[in-house]
Structure 1
């Protein structure tokens, strides 16, 4: 059994290494982003449990909060809880007041994210791994460190994808 798992582990490490060499973030920031996501999610889930549906996405220490919360007070409290996890440059609080997303909605968002990423690859107008794609309730959030032309191309491709209701650009620009 261990022999069968080795290629998967090695393959996963190879994919991560390739992603890191093409990423505009430093290796340290890449690792920080992973840690921010884990710490922030743990803090919020520990405090609020299943009363919220929360996705935490960090890119270059800019954090996107997406999902659903029961009320405005909880929305603000979740942001403060996440901010307390430290090492965050900026928070984009896109939490929506309403019932938690259904399994069907989450599945559709996952599909939309996959289609958008595939369209990025097929269009070959920019390095697709420079743009992080997050979909929540049909809204596609785009994060990354990009040129303005790359941001425009990504937004155009995302906005013309079936199932996308709205596109929100949360980029950092390098030009």
Structure 2
């Protein structure tokens, strides 16, 4: 089977005085967990919006939204709520506007997720603890931190080799790489249909994902 394979690299702008560690810290993981719970709770309380089909995963300050909703307004409001969590530095809205009858194969996605995690765990060239894996209808999302771009490419190739995977999207911060920031307030305002909300000065913004479909991939032995 030919796997359609592309990688989207997401790099974090580092604060000038911030110390960078190539590991996911306990404090960062706790912030991510609290942000995820906060967003899910807000979606549960949202009146007039059908958000029960939205899944939320926050890793290293990036909120990944997946699933399906019946209307574009629902999709946009889900992103608005994701931006409301102060620990969220960027939002990747992968929610689809689709017929409610479109079912997700949760069991298949769970199997794919476990297979990808297993491959990363067995590869000593990849620090698997720094990566989070999510699967949605055959599409695999990699989140977290990569020590080098080569490590990220290797992790992405592992995911692409799992049976049933159709796409690999890597939303990963590569240590030491930087890029021009995207205003957090403006992106939140666009999602919420209101005025820009000032970003917390302690939370650097993330640039938009860059599509690098032709990026070289390190061969796996």
Instruction: Output one character per residue of 1:84-131: Cα deviation in whole Å (capped at 9) or x when no partner.
Output: 23321100111111145636x011111100011111122332111111
Q: Is the Cα–Cα contact under 8 Å of residues 24 and 144 in structure 2 kept in the other structure?
A: no
SS in 1 for 2:125: coil
- Whose helix proportion is higher, 1 or 2? 1
Partner of 2:159: 158
Q: How far apart, CA to CA, are the structure 2 residues paired with 1:99 and 1:45?
A: 20
Q: Which sits farther off after the overlay, 82-91 or 59-68?
A: 82-91
Structure 2: tracts of 5 or more residues without a match: 1-21, 177-221
Q: How far apart, CA to CA, are the structure 2 residues paired with 1:27 and 1:52?
A: 29
TM-score (norm 2): 0.64
Partner of 2:23: 24
Confirm or deny that 1:97 pairs with 2:97.
yes
SS in 2 for 1:52: coil
SS in 2 for 1:38: helix
- Whose strand proportion is higher, 1 or 2? 1
Partner of 1:122: 122
Residues 65, 51 of structure 1: CA spacing in aligned structure 2 closer, same or farther, 3 A cutoff?
Answer: closer
TM-score (norm 1): 0.80
Partner of 1:38: 37
Q: Is the Cα–Cα contact under 8 Å of residues 43 and 85 in structure 1 kept in the other structure?
A: no
For these two proteins, the number of residue pairs brought into alignment is: 153
Structure 1: tracts of 5 or more residues without a match: 1-22
